[in-house]
């Protein structure tokens, strides 16, 4: 049985329908506001907004898969994370029969904060029927790569637009890419990968179409994924074109958050 995968319009949430109905999200970065306060920017916690969004989508869903970076602080954890992460998951478990977490690079020691009913997978990812799920900061396991499709986060994909006066605007986006090859690590790779936007709307996006893109993670750094010919979609589902056709010249320093 194969899964059919499609983004939910205007939400950074992937819906998969097959043997069960699954939602997939990534890059929550709970505790981001504590880091912002440390740098002098006072913003109330937005965790309740992500919680409400997922609860609103829970009807008829059998499983929620979170592909990493639930928490923000690394190394260590803030008081905000110790309070909000357990509360967030305990609330969601009232609406989702199963929750899986694939650990991201920010999720150090997160097991201590999670209810026992949450299934935790290491950085190598997980495979559900023919779909692999991984955060993207580390090499996926061969099992995760054995599926038809790979879903990954980590890069907070966005697209940058530039007008004639070189004014820029950045919008979150979805990116679908084919694999170029297997490299020396794998005997099989998926047909394609989907890069999922960050669930936390307070995060900056990493423009995939900047000249000389500085994408993160071994699959992209080692060019196993064909980013140039990746298909870019806005959050409302509008297809913009390929990454290479949308290139914007890099005119200075642009920092990609990880």
Max mean pLDDT range (61-70, 73-82, 163-172): 61-70
Instruction: Give the tens place of pLDDT for each residue, 93-111.
Output: 999 999 999 999 999 989 9
Count of alpha carbons within 13 angstroms of residue 178, beta-carbon side: 5
Q: Is the dihedral of CA 141, 18, 67, 114 positive or negative?
A: negative
Greater model confidence, 35 or 55: 55
What is the reported pTM? 0.92
pLDDT score for 1: 59
CATH architecture of 4-246: 4-Layer Sandwich (3.60)
54 pLDDT above the threshold of 90: yes
How is the chain split into domains, by residue range?
4-246
Residue 192's φ and ψ, nearest 5 degrees, are -155, 170
The mean pLDDT of 229-256, rounded to a whole number, is 84
Q: What is the mean pLDDT of the chain?
A: 91
Instruction: Give the tens place of pLDDT for each residue, 126-153.
Output: 999 999 999 999 999 999 999 999 999 9
- Which contiguous run of DSSP H or E holds residue 92? helix 79-92
Instruction: Give the tens place of pLDDT for each residue, 175-222.
Output: 999 998 877 889 999 999 999 999 998 887 889 998 876 789 999 999
């Amino acid at each position: 049985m194969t899964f059919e995968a499609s983004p939910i319009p205007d939400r950074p949430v992937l819906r998969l329908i097959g043997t069960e109905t699954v939602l997939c999200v990534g890059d929550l970065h709970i505790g981001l506001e504590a880091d912002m306060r440390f740098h002098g920017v006072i913003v109330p916690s937005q965790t309740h907004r992500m919680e409400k969004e997922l609860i609103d989508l829970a009807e008829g869903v059998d499983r929620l898969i979170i592909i990493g970076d639930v928490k923000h602080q690394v190394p260590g954890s803030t008081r905000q994370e110790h309070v909000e992460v357990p509360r967030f998951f305990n609330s969601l478990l009232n609406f989702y029969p199963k929750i899986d977490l694939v650990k991201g690079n920010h999720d150090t020691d997160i097991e201590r904060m999670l209810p026992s009913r949450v299934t935790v997978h290491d950085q190598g990812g997980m495979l559900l029927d023919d779909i692999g799920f991984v955060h993207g900061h580390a090499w996926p396991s061969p099992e995760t790569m054995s599926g038809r499709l790979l879903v990954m986060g980590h890069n907070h994909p966005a697209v940058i637009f530039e007008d004639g006066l070189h004014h820029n605007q950045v919008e979150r986006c979805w990116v679908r890419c084919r694999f170029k090859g297997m490299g020396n690590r794998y005997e099989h790779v998926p047909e394609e990968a989907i890069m999922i936007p960050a669930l936390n709307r307070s995060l900056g996006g990493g423009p995939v179409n900047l000249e000389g893109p500085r994408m993160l993670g071994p699959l992209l750094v080692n060019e196993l994924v064909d980013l140039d010919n990746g298909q870019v979609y806005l959050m409302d589902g509008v297809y913009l074109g390929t990454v290479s056709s949308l290139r914007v010249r890099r005119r200075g320093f642009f920092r990609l958050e990880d």
